[in-house]
Amino acid sequence: MQSPTAAAAAASSTPAKSPESPLLRRLPVPLVFLLLIVLSVTFIYRVAAPISPSGRTRQWNRTFPFVLPADDQPDAVDLEKEEVRLAGVLQASAMEDRTVILTTLNAAWASNGTIIDLFLESFRIGNGTRSLLDHLVIIAFDKKAYLRCVAIHHHCFALATEGVDFSVQENFMTDGYLKMMWRRIDFLRIVLEMGYNFIFTDADIMWFRSPLPRFFSDGDFQIACDQFYGDPLDRNNRPNGGFNFVKSNNRTIEFYKFWYSSRLKNPGFHDQDVLNIIKHDPFIDKIGLQMRFLSTRFFGGICQPSRDFNEVCTMHANCCIGLRRKINDLGVMLEDWRSYMALPPALKLSKPLVWRVPQKCSFAPLN
């Protein structure tokens, strides 16, 4: 089964001919929402435009959502279609309580034998995680990532335009990389506005158990940490933007708007750096956002591994620069998990296993 966006990609050469989805008629599309989309489209265009590799003619077209040429008046019909595509993917993948699992993918992480395969593999060998794949939407930033997604997964959504090249690995941690990260924040706000809660996960996070039982029932915005100091309410914890659970409500929508707009006051910073600044802002308490930091006991990573294999939900290849290093250490994590699962129940409890990572992962510069 393919997601509705598969049709979107297939229609790339004949965009006008795709039949009107019945969803369009079923969905009330308030004018206010459309205006919001128009605004964000204009905004995202500005953000995304400079990424196009210099010297290459930009080929703008409307195959992919949320990016339109600035000199082209976006008309309501196209925007409705993009919204309907997104609504369709979210509806098809959501859990009963309207929670979706979202990850983003670019070409570098999409190739065969790389991050995305390890990511999906973890769901298959994790305990009770395989069925969560039904609720996972892969947000593709470029065509290669999108095509790989539809080849290996049911729920795919394209969030880029052809001609804007997000796929170049050299972009990592550069200007283009920053823009991609910020774009993600703005996109997630739209998901919240559509009424969906989400678990956002980077694809370099291995899922070994369902995180759902570990979330706080009274938290609006819950985020994993590179360094967790013991108190889920302590804002001095070092959050990692790669894994968070966000409920859709007015507070979180306001918060995502605030977060996104704060990039203007902090130019050149990653969304995570800006989060570390704004988490102390009085605005958070003013809107009443309930922020919770998740313990590395359940949501571990290379910075601070989860100590107990009997409790771990996820392991992140954080504190790691370089694709090759990440792939190596994620592979080691999968092996470690397999060894644990192969132990007889008594030994699982009595034999304390230790993650054999980091092996290659580090912050050392790449040569």
Ligand X SMILES: *[C@@H]1O[C@H](CO)[C@@H](O)[C@H](O)[C@H]1NC(C)=O
- The answer to the question of residue 250 lying near ligand X (CB under 6 A) is yes
Residues 264-293 interacting with ligand X (rule: CB under 6 A): none
- The answer to the question of residue 61 lying near ligand X (CB under 6 A) is yes
- Give 97 or 366: the residue with its C-beta nearer to ligand X: 97
- Give 128 or 288: the residue with its C-beta nearer to ligand X: 128
Give the count of alpha carbons within 13 A of 106, CB side only.
Answer: 19
Contact 115/327 with Cβ under 8 angstroms? yes
Q: Name the DSSP class of 180.
A: H
- The answer to the question of residue 15 lying near ligand X (CB under 6 A) is yes
What's the rounded Cα separation, in Å, for the pair 36 and 208?
Answer: 37
What's the rounded Cα separation, in Å, for the pair 228 and 236?
Answer: 9
- The closest alpha carbon to 328, from 36, 16, 115, 33, belongs to 115
Binding segment (CB under 6 A) for ligand X, from list 10-18, 23-31, 100-108, 322-330: 10-18
- The answer to the question of residue 162 lying near ligand X (CB under 6 A) is yes
Tokens 């996104």 locate to 260
Instruction: Tell me whether residue 155 is exposed, middle or buried, using C-beta atoms within 10 angstroms of its C-beta: 0 to 12, 13 to 18, 19 or more.
Output: buried
Q: Which of 54, 112, 217, 350 binds ligand X (CB under 6 A)?
A: 112
Residues 31-60 interacting with ligand X (rule: CB under 6 A): 59
Binding segment (CB under 6 A) for ligand X, from list 11-19, 100-108, 169-177, 256-264: 11-19
- The answer to the question of residue 210 lying near ligand X (CB under 6 A) is no
Tokens 């001095």 locate to 236
- The answer to the question of residue 249 lying near ligand X (CB under 6 A) is yes
CB within 8 Å of 25: residues ≥ 6 apart: none
- The closest alpha carbon to 320, from 275, 260, 365, 283, belongs to 365
Q: Which of 128, 134, 233, 335 binds ligand X (CB under 6 A)?
A: 128
Binding segment (CB under 6 A) for ligand X, from list 7-15, 83-91, 217-225, 228-236: 7-15
Point out which residues bind ligand X (CB under 6 A). Answer: 12-13, 15, 59, 61, 112-113, 127-128, 162-163, 249-250, 348
